[in-house]
Amino acid sequence: MCDALMELFADKLEEREILGIEKGIRNGLRQGVMKGESTKLITQVIRKVEKGQAAVKIAEDLMEPLPVIEEIYDLIVHNPGISAEQIYNRLAAPEDNG
């Protein structure tokens, strides 16, 4: 009887581990897609800034909210040569409330 219970618990534990791994994979994929979409938007803004376009025009062209574009735009203007990856990392980093 004890062996049967041990086997049942082991099976349940294995099922939970598998579910946890699957959930982790789904979350990782979701985060990867979000990063890819964000980096694409940032790259588009960089190109438009290089062409001399204003934030308002960029927001209209890309059909994105102006505050989102302004935040990216300001980072580009104040940090010449900054990459899309660097901008993403700055925007994705938690605020420093220290």
Sequence spans of domains, the chain: 16-92
**Global pTM value:** 0.75
| Under-50 pLDDT residues of the chain | 97-98
- Residue 4: what pLDDT? 78
For residue 44, which of 64, 14, 24 has the smallest C-alpha distance? 64
- Residue 96: what pLDDT? 56
Radius of gyration for the alpha carbons in the chain, expressed in angstroms and rounded? 22
* pLDDT tens figures, 54-80: 999 999 999 999 999 999 999 999 999
Residue 29 contacts residue 53 (beta carbons within 8 Å) = no
- Residue 95: what pLDDT? 65
